[in-house]
Each structure stands twice: as structure tokens, then as C-alpha cells.
Structure 1
Amino acid sequence: MGARARRRAALGDRAPPGRVMPAPRPISILIAALGGQGGGVLTEWIAGAAAHAGLPAQATSIPGVAQRTGATTYYLEVYPEPIPAGGPEPVFSLYPTPGDVDVVMASELLEAGRTLETDYVSPERTTMIASTHRLFAIGEKSALGDGIFPRERVEEALGTLSKRLIAFDGLAAARAVGSEVNAVMLGALCATEILPLEASAFEAAIREGGVAVERNLAGFKAGMEIVASGGEATAAPAPARSWEQIKAERAHALGLRMGDFLALVRQAEEEFPAPLHRTLGEALARLIDYQDARYARGYLARVRAVLAADPDLRMTEIFARRLAVWMTYEDAIRVADLKTRRGRFERIRRDHGATNGQVVHVTDYLKPDLDEIYGILPAVVAAPIARLCERWWPERRPSLGQHVKTTAVSGFLRVWLLGRLRVMRPWSLRAQREFALIDRWQQGVLDSAALDLELAREVADIATVVRGYGDVRRRLARAFERFLDEILAPSVARGRETGQGYERARRIVRETKRQLLADEKGFEQALQETRA
């Protein structure tokens, strides 16, 4: 009885609800970025702009993977009014509350999707500012099949689940003015006018940072202009370019080998049907860049043989695409060549915002295994070494880890000279093994074409499973060889013997491809289903 009376008295001491002046709530901002994209700097700019305007603010970093391409998250709360002298300090939260965030800023499309998955975005409250460019996640890049998350699903969900969507290609906008994505995102935030801050407060915060001030101010202004011009939807895709435009671009990129490329393209355009010209042209550019014109002519000879057995070009189109990728397999020579190209060092400097006067050091972490080392040697020399190593280490050969500073003269020369060994590639053990399997696959396509064109298309397309680098590729190559012997040949033989056509064989080939792209160890399951 006494306790109940005390509770009533406490309630009675309060002012009636209608007489309480509602205090403004802080404006909450959640920043989802990738490591290396300046999410922390963006957070500091917003907090600094609030300080310039006399608004209390608090920022926290939520634990994540704060390294390049790792997911990082930052949370801010900004009180929308100055605190009068002697007035009580506002109470801020250290962490965001799902469904109760005013602004989400995502510096990459899939990072925007992550905030949807964790329920921070609300259709009643949240303004989403998202860059629509993609930097593929590890899971997307390591998938054997097409592991890229469908961007259409993310874009649709963003439009449905946010109160207001401001989406644009922040990376393209930043590159256009020589700035970074975080500066463009800051300008977009300012233009929304959600925070009671003038542009001058944000600009002052950028100047206080003292790093690449002019470039960051240019990016800030670009972000403001995007929102002011109504950039509140994903930018329309660029119009498709003609093959003539692309051909000129590929020729220019090949430098001194431009003449070889243009001559082979003219030959292909005279000899092959028009629907194949673009595919063959892209393949020729890739092959000449990888090896030389003679290598590219060998490619055309193989495509020519398949075209002779293909009345409607669909099989040839698939075969030409898969063959071009297979013939440009990644070996130690190719890796060395790519790592020492001028364009790579220019891109690294650009990505890190290095000016002309700044020195950038690049260290490459290389870990070739024995197969990759002796694979670039002539087959005559490497074959006995390979047999010995494969007997000693039947499952997996040892690797040799190296840290090579490719911006130093000695380190650069080591890797550059390795890249120049491509003149030895056609006679290497690796080439011998790759082309032995290519020969078997091509013969399988031709044999299938004589029986059933649809089956031949499936056989041509399954070559996409031979991919990857190092041990992963070797396992997939072995699985592909077993597919030819243990799945394709018996399936075709059964269709021939029963006289019921090759629908079952087509289905089995499709299912085997699906299993292998889902899991590199999926061959056994595909084999069991074939036998069943």
C-alpha cells in the first residue's frame, strides 16, 4: 500500500504530457564503406562541419575489417540545435538502432545492400545515399561460376525500403574531377539539407583536414551538383559502342603489335561471317597481348575447323569465346608481365591519390608452387622434374613464398625478365598439358556436332569450368578430363545404342557444368547422378 502510494506521488510530480516541450532528437547517420575508401575521413568531415556550426556531434567506429576492401562502418549523431550556455548536454547513442537511422551513406552498391540486410534502413525514415559502382567482394571473385550478386535486386530493394533514394556512380563522378568517392558522398549529403549545415561548414572541415584539399573540394562540389540536378536514381547505362570504336581502342592498347592485330582482324572479317567479327576481334586482341600473332593464327585455325561443322554459328560463337579464354591461361609468365606494366603502377598511384612528387612503394606477395615454376620450362626439361615432384607430393606440391618490391630496380627487373620468357611458352610443359586437353575438348565438340548440334553446344560451353589459377585450376582440369572419359563418352554411347536421341546426354552435360561451377569437388556428385 505504501509502495503504491509512493509510485503515485512520483507520477504526480511530473508535468502533464501535453505541457512537456519535445526536445529535438539527434540526426543519425550510418556510413557503410570499404577499407581504403576513406569512410573514417568522411566521418571526420561531418563531425568537423557540425563543430564549425556549433552543433554537438558524436562519432563512433563500429568494429569491422578496416583494411583495403574490408567492410567498415561508422556511426554519427548530430544534434540539430546549438546548446545554450548552461543547458544540458544531449545524450547520444554509440550504436545505430535498426529502423531508426535518418541517413545511410554507402560508398559501394553491395555495402548499401548490407545495411538493408541488417534492417537499418526504414521506408518511413531513412534517406539512402549510395554509390552504384561495384567493387566485387571476395565471395563474388572466388566463385567458380558467376558469383556476382545481381545488382538489379539491390537497386530494387533500395528503392522499396528507403524513404528517399539518391543513387549515382560515385566512383565515376570522383574520377571525372580527380577526387575520391568520400568527397562526392559528402557533397551529396550537404545537398539533401537533412543536416542544418551550410556548404561552407563542410568546406571548412575539408580544409582543416589538410589532405588533397583542392581535389576533395572538387569532389564535394560534384556531389552537390549531382543531387541538385536530380540524380536520385541509378544512372542509365552508357550506350553500346560500335565494334569499330572498340577495335581502334584495342589496336591502340597493343602498341607496336597494332599492325599484327589489324591484319588478323581484316583476315577474320573477310573469312568469317559478320556475327562472329566482334567475338573474334576481341579474342585476337587478347591472344596477341598474351603471346603473339602466330599464337592468334592458331586460334583462328581451331575456330575455322568448328565453323565447318556449324550451320547456324551458335556453336562456333560459344567455342570461340571459351577457346580464347582457355588459350590465355594464367601462368607465372603472364602474372609477371601484368605486374610490371606501366598502367598498373599508374593505377596504383591514382587509386592512392599520389601526386607527382610523392613516392609510392609497391611490394608484391608471390607464392608460386612447384607446378607453376617448372611449368614454364621447356617440356623436355620439365617433364622428368614433374614426374619426380608428383611422385613425392601426389596431392599438392610445396610453394615458394616471396615478397618482391617491384618499385625497386632489382625487384622490378626480376619480375620483368620473368614476363619476357613468353617466347618459351609454346614449348613449355604447361602449354603441352593445356593444349592436350584443348585438343580433346575440341574433338569432343566436333564428334558431338556430327550427332546433335545442341549437345555440341553444351560440350563447347562446359569448357568454362576449366578456370582459376594454380592448384584450383589443376583440380578442375583433372575433373574436366574425367568428364570427357567417364560422363560424356558413356552418355553419348547410351544415346546412340538406345536410339532415343541425345536429350539425356544434353541434360547430363548441363548438370555436370552446374555441379562443377557450384563446387570444384562436385564432379563425384555429377558422376553419381549420371550413373543413376
Structure 2
Amino acid sequence: MRRLPYFCSGCPHNSSTKVPEGSQAQAGVGCHYMASWMDRGTGGLTQMGGEGTDWLGRGAFTRVPHVFQNMGEGTYFHSGYLAIRQAVAGGANITYKILFNDAVAMTGGQPVDGQTSVPQICTQVASEGARKVVVVTDEPQRYQGVALAAGVQVRHRRELDMVQRELREIAGVTVLVYDQTCAAEKRRRRKRKSYPDPARRVLINPEVCEGCGDCGTQSNCLSVAPLETSFGRKRQIDQSSCNKDFSCAEGFCPSFVSVLGGSLRKGTAAAPAQDPEALAAALPLPALPSLAQPFDLMIAGVGGTGVITLGALIAMAAHLEGKGISVLDFTALAQKGGSVVSHVRLADTPDRLHSVRLLPGTARTLIAADLVVGVLPDVLGVIGEGRTRVVVNTHLQTLAEFTRQPDLPYREDALLAKIEAAAGAAQVERIDANATAKALLGDAIGANMLMLGHAWQQGGVPVSLAALMRAIELNGVAVAANKRAFAAGRLTAADPQWRQTLMGDRGSVVTLNLPQSFEKLLDERVRFLTDYQDARYARRYLDTVRRVEAAERAVAPGARRPRLAEAVARSLFKLMAYKDEYEVARLHARPEFLQNLRSQFEGDFKLQFHLAPPIFEKRGADGKVLKRSFGAWMLPVFRTLAALRGLRGTPLDPFGWLAERREERALVVEYEGLVRRLLDGLTNERIGSAVAVAALPEKIRGYGHVKARGIAEYRRNLPVLLAAHDAPPPAMQPPALKTA
């Protein structure tokens, strides 16, 4: 498991670097180079201003007729324009994708060194001989009344795939200018009130979510995070990191709900007795370690979350006290969510510090703000067993691979075990700093500061409280929030019960307990299916599962858990509880969802649902059904539809005649027959292969064309697994005899 740097949440490159099926793209200098490790048919690298020159040399010697070449507008202004001129002069078949994001984002969001604009670029490349120029943007309305070169089209980013397919068929040089502001720069400007901040947030109803991952496929966004529930992995939006790109809502799924107006509910400074700063003021100050010998401290975390800031604050506090301090930051692609490690060394005087890098086994304190970074070899290497005190954040931020692997395993326990093995279990303290920061501040960005406070209260940061508070003030960023988070960290170290009280007061986004037993799993699904349809429908489900359980226990009486029965319980439930119009309406209208929504948002807000109802079906140019937005007036419609769910599957069901609904009902009957086949001749030796067959429908997820792909994959794989199950077990071979 690695912490790969990745595009920021809402980054334009999440969309702009996609290429049509069958096409290839060449990377260039800039953030967009990271598309090289995103399974996007992108590779290669050349110097700034050399984009496409390599294709001119090798294009004649390959069967690939055309390539796309990525180029940022900063590179274009610097020297990339010359690369386009050489491609035109050489007659190359190439499409330059000029990614206009209004900033030099790779190195911190500096402005482009010179004046350029989309109209200027269009005019220049057209005058140089580009055969066709197209502007693609998330806001095509901004181009109304804007003078562009003759023949230049403006298209919505939803049409990107179609536009690229058109351009790759044109011989010669074509240019696609993708215009969307850098997400990180949007965030900075919004904080300074210099960029529009749409009064809109999106969230996911986890019960409607199928966990198919299409929202991640469409958005490639790290703010679409996993949510583990007793019904499997779902999705949730990390509101703390969301940059309001909204491309996730393009996923073909009705679980997305927009909140218009209002604001995120912040952690409330409730009664004075619960104010963390007031409570922390009454705590005894820790005994800080002597600095007669250098004190080694390491901070490990994710880029962009304030890891380097923690080291800088400790350094400033030490400086204010006249102590010796050195900080060595390993940042790599830190601003893009990569691994960041800070080596911090303190002593009573500067002349006691020599090496700035921590030596193996010398760390006295490790603040592991991220589990994945915390188990890097260079981090584990500085831990000394019984010597290093570790404070570890148990919250695992979304991994880059999750955008492409919906079932990516998150092995938090295994990661924690590595840290505990290195330091000793008694030396490690766990805290979900993100959840605590959200409960207190309404934003997880305070998590690292909270961990600093926790480590300081334990005596793991040898600078005074007054010096640290002054360093926070001198930093001048979110001073009140940082002091509050630091105080909360002190409290979590001194009084763990305080955190439990805080979390109990705030609650969590979704409270769903993972099943602790087979009986609990079964009971939960029986109750759900009763609400879904009726008691008779639930009894049909229960009878089938109990029949499997009895057969399995007969052939494997000593098994601790009925594996086959559990697989059937999960898969049959998934097929029987298919999410048709009645069920989506019921789940959206549930009081629990609306209460959960109000726990996250406050103020005067309205709801907007993103649906593709069959009676209003509209298809895009690619033939796929388009989603439409509906206001809060849908809530009474949902309640009415939910009340009519008794019509489901009857001749009076207006939706039951749809091909998708007929197939869903047929799958249930087919699966019941499949279960009977698995039980026929079941033996203890065949339980493993039977489980593989029985669990296959769990991969059928999503809605519409997404679900259709899952069903097609199920039907392709089923015969293979059945053949393996039905095959006679291999005959026992006598052991090979050793010869002299």
C-alpha cells in the first residue's frame, strides 16, 4: 500500500487528461504528468517546449496513427508554442491538449509568467495552421459574446470524449484548449474571497449508493471516499477536501443530492464546561524532557494537510525560546497528496546539533498523521523499540488507487501492527484525529494540529505552551481554530473520556454497525426486506438462507461460521433488494436520511436530486441516458412512490415492464435455482468453490448501463466458476520417493 501523489480533489486534470478508448497520450511538464500512473494510456516525458517533437520522429515508424499531447498553458507561453509550430511544419498527426488552469499549479499556484488567455491561444494556433481548434470547458456560458478565432467551437466538458474522437480523425495538427481553473487555486482564492464560491454542496445517500464506483470513474476525485457499512462498502463525500467540482454527480447513480444554500455545520462551542480551551487551561502542564542531549522528533503525513506547518511551528517556538532547532522536510510531490516526512531535532543550544537527519532508532516522538506514510521504511527505521512514543491517526485518507479499484482493501489493522511491532504496543497511542476535528471544528483540516497538542501534552514536544501559542499567532493562519484544535489534542491525551463525550454529542455522518455474527447479518436483512416489500417477501429470503445453512452444517458440523450460507445471505439479499423507482424513493424519503442531512448542514438550504427517471428519459450524443436535476418538490413524490411499492412486480406496476426491471426479477429466480444446484451433492470439500459461485452476484452493482456491465460480467464468469465447482476433485497422488 502506497501514498501516491495524485490530482487534487476537483482538479481539471481529473477530466482533461482522459483519452478515448484506443488512443494514446504523451505526458508533459506539469501536474498533468501524474496521469502517467492513472491507467489513462499516457506515457513518456520530454523537456519543456519539446512536447510532441518525439512523436514527429517516431510517428512514421509505428502503426499508431495519432496521439494526444498534454501541455499546460504555462508551458505553452514559455516555449510550447514552438513545439506546436514544429508539429505543423512536420505534418504530424497530433492533437495538442492545452490545459488552461489559470496557474502554475505544480509549484504552488504562481501566476503564469506573462499574459495569455484562451482567445489568444486559439488565435495563435489557428494562425499557425492548426486544422481545427476546440475549447472545452465546465462553464461554456462564460464564452457568450467572447470573440474567438473563426471556426473555433466551445463545447461542454461532458462532450470531451466525443470531441477527442472527432479530432483524432482529422489529419494534421489539431488543438483542444481545456479551460477550467486549478482546484487548489480556487480553494486559495475562495479563502481570500476573490473567487466565486457556489452555494452548493453534494452528498451521497449511502443507502441509495450501490458502491459501484462510477462516481469515482467519472470524477477521479479523492474526495469521493469509502464508507464501510454492514451492507458493504458505499461512498461518501469528504466535505473537508471537496473543491466543488461536482463531476462526481455525473456518475450514473441517483444517490447524489445537492444542498443549495446553507453551510456546513461547524463544531459548536457548546456549554463553557465543554469548551476545549477552557478545559485545557485547567490541565497540569507536562514535564518536558531535557534538551541537554538532542531530542529527535518525526512528523509523517500527507502533503497539503499541514505536516510541514507543524515542523515550522515547533521550529518557531524553539527559536522564540533560544533553543537549537533543525528541520529537514522530505516533500516530493507534497502539494499533490504525496508522502511528507519532517525530521525535527531540538537541543538547548544550536551547537549541539550536527546531522539534521534522524538516525535509525533515535526518534523520541513520532507523530504519524497518516498510517500509510507512517509505515514507510524511512519512518519505521527511526523508531526505537521502547524508546519512541508514537501518536498515530487511525483515519486512513482515500488512497489514489481507490478511484480505479472500488474494492481496494484498506488494511488499517495491518498498518497499525507494523508500527506497534517497531515501537512496542505500549508506546503507541491511537486517535481518530479527523473525526475528532470534524466534531469540534466541522473540518478535518485541524486534525494534525490536534495531534500536535496530543503529543505535547504527553511531553513529546519539548517547547513551552506559551512559545507554541505565540508561534501559531505569528503564523497568522486560522489562529483561533488552530489553538482550539491544539487544546482539543491536549484533552484527548489527558482525558480520553472527553473525546467520547464530544463524539457522542456530535454523532457521526452515518451510524451503521458492521455485523458481528451471522445471525445479526441475517436479521438485519430480513428486517430490511420486510420494509422493502413485505413479510412474505422477507420469508422467501429467510427460508432459502436457512436451507443453505442446514445443508452446510450437515457436511461441515465443526465450522465456526457458515461461509456458504453467509455468501448466499449477502448475494440473495442484493438481488432481491434491487433498487427500482419505489426503493430509491423510499430511501430518499426516510426520516433517517433527512436527519443525517440536517446534522451536516445548517442555515436556509434547499435540496436538489439528480435522477434519470425512465418517464423523462433523455440521451446524450453518446447514447447514454442523462441525469436531470429535480427540486425538493420530489420529496412528497418519493413518499407517494414508496407507499405504492406493493405494486412492485404485479401487472399494475408501471415500471415492471422495463427491460431492466424484468432482468432484475429474473436474476432472483435464476439465483434461487443456482443455490439449489450448489446444495445438490454439497460436500465439505466443495464448500470453498460453492462460496465463490454464491458470492458472484455481489459484483452486480450500480444503475442502468453500469449495472448492465456488472450483469454481463456475472454471466461471463458464472460458467467458469461452475465448471471449477463441478469438476471432480484431483486424485490423491502418492508422495514422490526420494532416490539416492
TM bucket, shorter chain? 0.5 to 0.7
Aligned twin of 2:541: 302
1:440 is aligned, of 643, 664, 670, to 670
2:715 is aligned, of 474, 481, 505, to 481
Aligned twin of 1:30: 298
Q: If each structure's helix is expressed as a fraction of its own residues, which one has the higher value?
A: 1
Do residues 319 (structure 1) and 552 (structure 2) align? no
Q: List aligned pairs for 1:43-442, cutoff 5 A.
A: 43-55=311-323, 57=325, 60=329, 62-64=331-333, 66=335, 70-75=337-342, 77-81=344-348, 93=356, 103-114=365-376, 119-123=381-385, 126-139=388-401, 143=405, 147-149=409-411, 151-162=412-423, 165-171=427-433, 174=437, 180-206=446-472, 216-217=482-483, 219-227=485-493, 278-284=520-526, 286-287=528-529, 292-294=531-533, 297-308=536-547, 310-311=549-550, 314=562, 315-328=564-577, 341-342=593-594, 377=614, 413=632, 428-442=658-672
- 1:164-215, CA deviations, whole angstroms, 9 ceiling, x for partnerless residues? 8332123355567558422331122213434431223333444556666666
Aligned twin of 1:458: 691
Q: Per the alignment, do residues 138 and 296 of structure 1 end up closer, same or farther by CA in structure 2, a change over 3 Å counting?
A: farther
Cα distance in 1 for residues equivalent to 2:614 and 2:417? 52
Cα distance in 1 for residues equivalent to 2:407 and 2:413? 19
**Displacement after TM superposition at 1:429 (Å):** 3.6
Matched AA of 1:62: T
Secondary structure class of the residue paired with 2:298: strand
Aligned residues between the structures: 392
Secondary structure class of the residue paired with 2:550: coil
**Displacement after TM superposition at 1:286 (Å):** 4.8
Cα distance in 2 for residues equivalent to 1:431 and 1:78? 65
**Displacement after TM superposition at 1:48 (Å):** 4.0
Matched AA of 2:532: A
Secondary structure class of the residue paired with 1:105: strand
**Displacement after TM superposition at 1:427 (Å):** 5.4
Q: Per the alignment, do residues 347 and 54 of structure 1 end up closer, same or farther by CA in structure 2, a change over 3 Å counting?
A: farther
Contact 2:449-2:482 within 8 A present in 1 as well: yes
Cα distance in 2 for residues equivalent to 1:175 and 1:303? 40
* Structure 2 stretches lacking a partner, 5+ long: 1-290, 501-510, 554-561, 646-653, 731-740
Matched AA of 1:307: R
Secondary structure class of the residue paired with 1:311: helix
Aligned twin of 1:261: none
- 1:372-423, CA deviations, whole angstroms, 9 ceiling, x for partnerless residues? 95xx537xx99xx99xx9xx98xxx7586x8x9xxxxx77659979978776
Secondary structure class of the residue paired with 1:147: coil
- 1:127-169, CA deviations, whole angstroms, 9 ceiling, x for partnerless residues? 43212344453446864667232x4433332123237833212
Matched AA of 2:451: M
Q: Per the alignment, do residues 472 and 113 of structure 1 end up closer, same or farther by CA in structure 2, a change over 3 Å counting?
A: farther
Contact 2:296-2:364 within 8 A present in 1 as well: yes
Secondary structure class of the residue paired with 1:30: strand
Contact 1:144-1:465 within 8 A present in 2 as well: no
Which one has more relative contact order, counting CA pairs under 8 Å at least 6 apart?
Answer: 2
Q: If each structure's strand is expressed as a fraction of its own residues, which one has the higher value?
A: 2
**Displacement after TM superposition at 1:445 (Å):** 0.5
**Displacement after TM superposition at 1:453 (Å):** 6.0
**Displacement after TM superposition at 1:277 (Å):** 5.1
Do residues 42 (structure 1) and 276 (structure 2) align? no
Secondary structure class of the residue paired with 1:324: helix
Cα distance in 2 for residues equivalent to 1:435 and 1:52? 71
Secondary structure class of the residue paired with 1:437: helix
Q: List aligned pairs for 1:486-505, cutoff 5 A.
A: 487-488=721-722, 492=726, 503=729
Matched AA of 1:220: F
Q: Per the alignment, do residues 90 and 329 of structure 1 end up closer, same or farther by CA in structure 2, a change over 3 Å counting?
A: farther
Q: Per the alignment, do residues 467 and 491 of structure 1 end up closer, same or farther by CA in structure 2, a change over 3 Å counting?
A: closer
> Normalised by the size of structure 1, how large is the TM-score?
0.55
Cα distance in 1 for residues equivalent to 2:460 and 2:338? 25
Contact 1:43-1:74 within 8 A present in 2 as well: no
Secondary structure class of the residue paired with 1:451: coil
Q: Per the alignment, do residues 481 and 210 of structure 1 end up closer, same or farther by CA in structure 2, a change over 3 Å counting?
A: same
Contact 1:33-1:108 within 8 A present in 2 as well: yes
Q: Per the alignment, do residues 436 and 221 of structure 1 end up closer, same or farther by CA in structure 2, a change over 3 Å counting?
A: same
Cα distance in 2 for residues equivalent to 1:250 and 1:160? 31
Contact 1:191-1:224 within 8 A present in 2 as well: yes
- 1:53-102, CA deviations, whole angstroms, 9 ceiling, x for partnerless residues? 334546546133536xx34415253542356xxxx897785x77776655
Contact 2:580-2:661 within 8 A present in 1 as well: no
Matched AA of 1:480: Y
Cα distance in 2 for residues equivalent to 1:217 and 1:435? 57
Cα distance in 1 for residues equivalent to 2:463 and 2:393? 22
Contact 1:181-1:219 within 8 A present in 2 as well: yes
**Displacement after TM superposition at 1:489 (Å):** 6.1
Cα distance in 2 for residues equivalent to 1:65 and 1:197? 26
Q: Per the alignment, do residues 210 and 425 of structure 1 end up closer, same or farther by CA in structure 2, a change over 3 Å counting?
A: farther
Secondary structure class of the residue paired with 1:436: helix
Contact 1:141-1:148 within 8 A present in 2 as well: no
Q: Per the alignment, do residues 26 and 177 of structure 1 end up closer, same or farther by CA in structure 2, a change over 3 Å counting?
A: same
Secondary structure class of the residue paired with 2:614: coil
